[in-house]
Every structure is written in C-alpha cells, then in structure tokens.
Structure 1
Amino acid sequence: MNRETIRSLLLWLLVASAVSLVVLYTAFVYSSMRAGPAHLISCMEVNVRMSAWTCEQVLRHATFSKEHLAELNRSAGARFPISMGDTRKAEEILALFLDKGVDINAPDERLNGWTALHGAAISREPKEVALLLKYGAKVDVRDTHGRTPLELARLVQTKRQDDSQLAETIRLLETAQNKPRS
C-alpha cells in the first residue's frame, strides 16, 4: 500500500469512529430523556463525568411527565436530590424538583408514610435536614405510625446516644418545631 492509500484509510477510520461516537452518544441522550428523575440523579452520582453531565442536563431541561411527578410524590421524591454528595448541586436539584411540582412533604407510600424529612431525620446527615427545612418541609407531619421526624430521630438516639450528627439533627428539628408559625 502506498502512503496516499494508508492516509485515506486512516481518514476513513477516523470519520467512522467519530460517527460511531455521535450515534452512541445520541442513543445515550435519548435513553436518558426517557428515564425518570430518580434514575437521572443516580446517573449523575455514579457515572463518569460526560455521562453524569448529560444526565444532569436532561434532568435540568426536561419536563417531568405526569407519571414521573406522580411517582416522585408517591415515594417522597424530595429525598432523591438531598442525598447527593455535592451539597450545592443537591440544593439546586431540590429547588428544580420543587419548581417542577414535587411535594416536599409527600409521604412515601411504601415506607410507613415517611416524608423526605423523616428519612433525613434518621440518616445522620444534618445538612439534609437543614436543606429540607430551608425549603419548607413540615416538622409536624406524621408517618403511618403517628411519628414526626423529630420523634423518629429521638427513637434512633436511644440506640446511638453518643452520635453527634444525630444530636445536631435533633437540635435542628427542635428549633424548627419551636419556631412560631406564620
């Protein structure tokens, strides 16, 4: 083979590779657009940089279908963004969820009627509790057993009395509970 033939073959391989990458990326974007919001948050947390970025963009710009919104509200959907590792991004995505119609106080139908705040109250992550309270989570919502998030946290504290994270969570919930209602 002469140089010109090799050059043409390499150029053809390069173009074919580029087209293949575009097709694969397009397929990934399309499948991401069909995924639910909870799946997209998971994708943002566990995938490599480019696919995580893609999932984030789809989540930020997609309209939540009625089915996705209903599913989020049946499963205390506000809990999904608050568990993200990046606190700044968690707050942005929580605000996005609320703007799109997710109810911050929606109970999880499968988990004793726990709201996102119930789950955060026992998670040992005071930042999650603080974020939910900042965005209007109600401290007096009761689960199917009649327990508030504060009561759940206190119940867990009986088994973990030296847990400073849990103590901070309880302090936040007590402060919110004692705040005058407007």
Structure 2
Amino acid sequence: MAAETHHSDVAEHAASGGLPQFDFSTWGNQIFWLIIVFGILYFVLSKFILPKLADGIVERKDRISDDLDSASRMQAEAEEAEKAYHQKLNDARAKAHNVAEATRQSINDELSSEIAAADLQAAKEAEAAETRIAGLREKALANVETIASETAIEIVKALTNKTTTAAQLRAAMK
C-alpha cells in the first residue's frame, strides 16, 4: 500500500506539469535555503579552505623566491669559481712556460759548456796531432835528405861509373 501511495504522489507531481523549482509557491523556501547553504559555504571557504590556499600560495611564492635567490647566488659563485679556475689555469700555464724556459736555458747552458769543453779538447788533440805531424815531417825530411843523397850517389855511379861521397854531393849542391 505504501508503494501505491508513493506512486500516486509521483503521478500527481508529474501531472502538475513542471519542475518543482519553478513553482512560485516554493521560491521563498528555496531562497532561504540558498542563502543558508551559500552562507555556510562562504563561511567554510573563508575560514578554512581559502586561508590554507593563501598560505600555500604564499609559501610557494616564498620558496620560488628563495630558490631564485639561491640560484642567483650559486650562479655568482659558479662564475667566481670559473674565474678562479681560469686564473689558476693561466698561472699554471705561465709557471709551466717558465719551468720549460728555465729547463731549456739550463740545457742550452749545459750544452754550450759541453760544446766548449769538446772544442777545447779537440783543439788540444789537434795541437798534439800537429806536433806529432811536425815531428814526423822533420823525421821524413831528415830521411828524405839521406835518401836523396843516397839516390843521387847511386845515380852518379850509374851514369858516370864514379863513386862519390855524401860530403862531396852536399858540397856540389850548395
């Protein structure tokens, strides 16, 4: 029976020909509940939800600002570190160049002293060789005179069949 009553109420409503919201007799009630619901919604939003959203937005804005400041500071530090790196690199290059130049100069000095010592040694050996050559030349010249006089004696003997002495030959040459 309850099902029939409920069914008959729905049928009467449907027969009235429209939506209950547009029934002018219930508009006062609807406006009252609309004001109550929106008032509660406004109160809940303004006291609980919107402050949390505002705090979240402020916190996010602060975090972004801090992150930007931190990024700016880190960028400045990175630029300073890069400048310091380039300065140290240039200093190291200059130091390496100075070390290379000093080593090159040291090697050149050492090479020059060794060349000078080798030249001195070569000059001494050349002088000793010249002395030996002069001694050998004198011996050879002394022997040449003896050999020449012996050869001249033999030539005179072969041509004239006379025997001459070295003293006679020397007297004849002078």
TM-score, reference length from structure 2: 0.28
Q: Which has the higher helix share?
A: 2
Bigger relative CO (Cα 8 Å, ≥ 6 apart): 1
- The structure with the larger Rg is 2
TM-score, reference length from structure 1: 0.27
